[in-house]
Every structure is written in C-alpha cells, then in structure tokens.
C-alpha cells in the first residue's frame, strides 16, 4: 500500500497552515493519515482477474489479448512486454485490450500482470501482481509459408521472372499433350503433334513424387547475428517452414536435422510432415559454439538419397573451411543446396555513394566481404553444392525455387 499524490498535496497544505494555526494543522494531518489508512483497508482484498491471450503466434504477426478486472473501486491494468514480445497498448483503466506481437520465435512467457487499485477516497493505492504463467509458442512465418505453398499448387509461384506450373514440369512420367503457352519450356515442344495440329503443342510431364527433402539447420554462433529484428536462425526457420509446406503440396517427404557442436534434433522425412517439421524446429536457439558440420553431414549422408538444404551463414573462406571440408561427405549421395541470407546493411554500404572517408572505408570493407563470399560460393560449387543467397524478404522463395528447379530436372 502507498498513499496517492493527493495525500502529499494535503499534508503539504497542512504544513503551510501550521504557520497560522499549528493545532489545526496537526489535527488536519492526523485526520488525513487516518482516512488514508481507512482507504487502504478498503482495497486490501485482491481483485479477480480474467485473462485471455493467444497460446500460439507466428513471428511478426499480431494477436489480440484481453484482461478484465473485477474490482470494487477504480483500477488500472498494466501488462508489460519483454525484449521479444511487444504489447501495445500495455496499460488501460479497468481493463486492457491489446495486440501481442512476437519479434522472435520460440518459447516465451509474458511478464507478470500488474493491477493498481485506488481507494474510494483517492487517498491510498495498492498494486497487485499476477504471475499468469502463460507460455507463448511463437512459430516461424507460417502465413508466408502457406502463401508460397498455395502459389506453387496453383501455378502462380514466380521467381526470377519464371512461373512454376504446380506439380507438372520436366519430370519423367508422361502426363498429356497440350497447347503451348509462353510459360512452357521450349524443350517440351512435341514437334510431331505440332505438325499434326497446325499449332505449337507441348508434352506435359508429371514430376515424380515421394522424394525426400531434408533441411539441415545450423544453430551455431554465426546464426545468432541479427538481420533487422530477427536473427539468421529466425530467417532460416522461415525457409524450413516454406520448404516443408511446399514439399507437402508436391507429394514429397520432408525431414530435418539441427546441429551446433553436437546434434540437437533430427526428424526422418515423412509424408505430410510439414507440421511435424515446424513443431520440431520452431524453438531452436543459436548457441555460442562453433558448428560441427562433419558430424551432422555424416548422419544425413547415411539417409536415403534426398534434396538437402543446408541453412547456415557464409562469411569468408577461412571461417567456411569446416563447411567446405565436410561438404563432400554430403554431396556424394545427395543433391545439396547451401543457403544463406544476405545482409541488407552490407548491400546498402555497397550501393551508397560515399560522402565521407568513413563511408569510403565502410564501402571497401563491404566490397571485401562480398568478394570473399563469392569465392566461397565458387568453392561450394566445385565441391558439389549449389549456393543460394537472398535478402530476408526473398529468402524462402529463393530456396523453394532451387528445390522446384532440382525436382523438375529430376536431379534427386
């Protein structure tokens, strides 16, 4: 319990009154203190709180929460946020309706709820804390993953100016002959049917299903570096969610393996395994250790031939040497893509026109970093992998495009 500012104002007025009438001032102060104690006694009972909040969120998406308080007297509610969970607005009178937004995926808990109750005479106030023990499970960007999967299913998925035609493409199982459209590959033209029909006709092939796709997720120290409000691992798991959703549409099996210095989690590829992959990976956190690529790759190398996406970070050749050394273990059996998100700050430093010597130095450093990454990408290609890099917004689409391209060419 504590007095309100109004009590301080009254006691200050009593002190001024003491210059003319000390006895009256003393009596006035005693009465004020007595009334304050009485006011405090009236609000000593803990109010009842009703709390409704989401248990599952997607990273970057908002959901509504509501707090209502059954209190006899005037009260205020405050639900503070945390470094990873934003609550807006975070306070209200009598009740609270707010939006909850998680900036990082994983498992989070809301901070204790505070309810401040003021007595009927506005002389005393009391703050009650409620530990709601409410856990928020924050998944990667699932809405975007579903949108990508829907675009692939309907043939509306576009990347680099090309359109995916859903589950049909350059497979090996003949499907039908149909009229040529600008979206078709020239290699699909059926010249005999074209001559017979008098207009361009193409063969349509159905891509094989029941292929395995494995997401290998680096959780080492490099994946803790921030890209905007997210970490590299956050953005990598957005890709995992998108790949898992698209493999389900394409009739393939999806699995995952997460590692840092040790193996953290693994999930064998399975049909309709999109939800299982997301549940197995959504709460992974980057560690402070160096990643052991060889250990992880040896495990995946023993699995059935698959399309393998290695989600990691590429800096320069000396830092990437453990990855380069371990890659042949994986590439001997699998179709491998190494994927890394590009840093927008690095690209901005390259594109900016230098105004000061500091800008020049920043541009030179950025140029050296990009050149070093290009050298690593070339070395990855020599050792049997394809390197995919894209900005945060286009990262899932770029990796999905690599998967669809490999699938349409029957590379795995």
pLDDT at residue number 71: 86
pLDDT at residue number 167: 47
pLDDT at residue number 247: 94
pLDDT at residue number 8: 57
Distance between CA atoms of residues 218 and 232, nearest Å: 10
Distance between CA atoms of residues 140 and 283, nearest Å: 9
Distance between CA atoms of residues 373 and 297, nearest Å: 22
Range in 102-111, 195-204, 230-239 with the lowest mean pLDDT: 195-204
With beta carbons less than 8 A apart as the criterion, state whether 82 and 108 touch.
yes
* Whether the predicted pLDDT of 111 surpasses 80: yes
pLDDT at residue number 154: 83
Which tokens hold the place of 8?
A: 């301080």
* Whether the predicted pLDDT of 170 surpasses 50: no
Residue with the bigger pLDDT between 38 and 309: it is 309
* Whether the predicted pLDDT of 328 surpasses 80: yes
Range in 29-43, 71-85, 212-226 with the lowest mean pLDDT: 29-43
Per-chain mean pLDDT for the chain: 85
DSSP for 57-92 reads EETT-EEEEEEEEE-SS-EEEE----SSEEEES-EE
Query: What band does 189 get if pLDDT is binned at 50, 70 and 90?
Result: confident
pLDDT at residue number 403: 94
Q: Which CATH code fits 1-139?
A: 2.60.40.10
Which residues sit opposite 51 in a β-bridge?
Answer: 67
pLDDT at residue number 162: 46
Distance between CA atoms of residues 315 and 341, nearest Å: 11
* Whether the predicted pLDDT of 372 surpasses 50: yes
Q: Which CATH code fits 142-167+207-408?
A: 3.40.50.410
pLDDT at residue number 169: 46
Distance between CA atoms of residues 184 and 179, nearest Å: 10
| Mean pLDDT in residue range 356-366 | 79
Distance between CA atoms of residues 277 and 256, nearest Å: 7
Distance between CA atoms of residues 283 and 376, nearest Å: 30
DSSP class of residue 47 equals P
Q: Where in the chain is the domain with CATH 3.40.50.410?
A: 142-167+207-408
Distance between CA atoms of residues 77 and 409, nearest Å: 59
Q: What share of the chain is helix, strand, coil (3-state, %, to 5)?
A: 40, 30, 30
> pLDDT tens digit string along 50-71?
999 999 999 988 999 999 999 8
| Mean pLDDT in residue range 10-15 | 58
DSSP for 140-193 reads S-HHHHHHHHHHHHHT--EETTEE--TTEES-SEEEEEEE--TTS-GGGB-HHH
Share of the chain above pLDDT 70, in %: 84
Distance between CA atoms of residues 40 and 119, nearest Å: 6
pLDDT at residue number 161: 43
Residue with the bigger pLDDT between 340 and 153: it is 340
What burial letters (b/e) apply to 383-399, b meaning 16+ CB within 10 Å?
A: bebbbbbbebeebbbbb
pLDDT at residue number 203: 79
pLDDT at residue number 7: 58
With beta carbons less than 8 A apart as the criterion, state whether 265 and 257 touch.
yes
| Mean pLDDT in residue range 294-303 | 95
With beta carbons less than 8 A apart as the criterion, state whether 75 and 116 touch.
yes
* Whether the predicted pLDDT of 366 surpasses 90: no
Residue with the bigger pLDDT between 187 and 68: it is 68
Residue with the bigger pLDDT between 274 and 168: it is 274
Residue in this structure with the two tokens 């998967």, named with its chain if needed: 403
Share of the chain above pLDDT 90, in %: 52
Which residues sit opposite 265 in a β-bridge?
Answer: 258
Q: Which residues have a Cβ under 8 Å from the Cβ of 319 and sit 6 or more positions away?
A: 222
Residue with the bigger pLDDT between 262 and 348: it is 262
């Amino acid at each position: 319990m504590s007095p309100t500012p109004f009590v301080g104002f009254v006691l200050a007025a009593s002190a001024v009154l003491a210059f003319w009438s000390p006895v009256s001032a003393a009596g006035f102060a005693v009465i004020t203190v007595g009334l304050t104690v009485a006011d405090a006694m009236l609000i000593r009972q803990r109010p009842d709180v009703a709390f409704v909040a989401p248990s599952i969120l997607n990273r970057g998406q908002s959901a509504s929460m509501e707090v209502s308080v059954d209190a006899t007297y005037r009260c205020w509610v405050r639900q503070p946020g945390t470094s990873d969970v934003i609550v807006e607005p975070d306070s209200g009178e009598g009740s609270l309706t707010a939006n909850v937004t998680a900036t990082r995926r994983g498992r989070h808990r809301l901070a204790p709820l505070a309810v401040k109750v003021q007595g009927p005479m506005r002389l005393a106030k009391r703050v009650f804390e409620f530990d709601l023990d409410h856990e928020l499970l924050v998944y990667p960007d699932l809405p975007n993953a579903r949108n990508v999967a829907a675009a692939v299913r309907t043939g509306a998925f576009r990347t680099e100016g090309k359109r995916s035609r859903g589950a049909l493409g350059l497979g090996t199982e003949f499907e039908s002959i149909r009229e040529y459209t600008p979206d078709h590959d020239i290699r699909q033209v059926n010249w005999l049917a074209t001559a017979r029909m008098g207009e361009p006709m193409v063969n349509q092939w159905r891509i094989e299903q029941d292929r395995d796709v494995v997401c290998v997720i680096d959780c080492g120290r490099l994946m803790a570096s921030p890209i905007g409000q997210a970490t590299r691992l956050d953005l990598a798991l957005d890709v995992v969610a998108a790949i898992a959703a698209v493999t389900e549409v394409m009739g393939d099996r999806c699995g995952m393996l997460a590692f840092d210095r040790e193996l953290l989690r693994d999930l064998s590829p399975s049909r309709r395994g999109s939800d299982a992959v997301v549940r197995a990976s959504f709460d992974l956190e980057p560690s402070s250790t160096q990643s052991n690529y060889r250990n992880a790759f040896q495990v995946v190398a023993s699995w059935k031939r698959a399309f393998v996406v290695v989600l990691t970070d590429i800096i320069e050749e000396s830092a990437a040497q453990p990855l380069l050394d371990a890659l042949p273990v994986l590439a001997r059996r699998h179709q491998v893509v190494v994927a890394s998100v590009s840093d927008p700050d690095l690209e901005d430093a390259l594109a900016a026109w230098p105004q000061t010597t500091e800008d020049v130095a920043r541009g030179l450093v950025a140029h050296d970093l990009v050149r070093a990454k290009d050298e690593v990408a070339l070395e990855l290609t020599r050792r049997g992998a394809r390197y995919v890099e894209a900005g945060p917004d286009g990262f899932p689409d770029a990796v999905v495009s690599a998967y669809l391209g490999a699938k349409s060419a029957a590379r795995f």
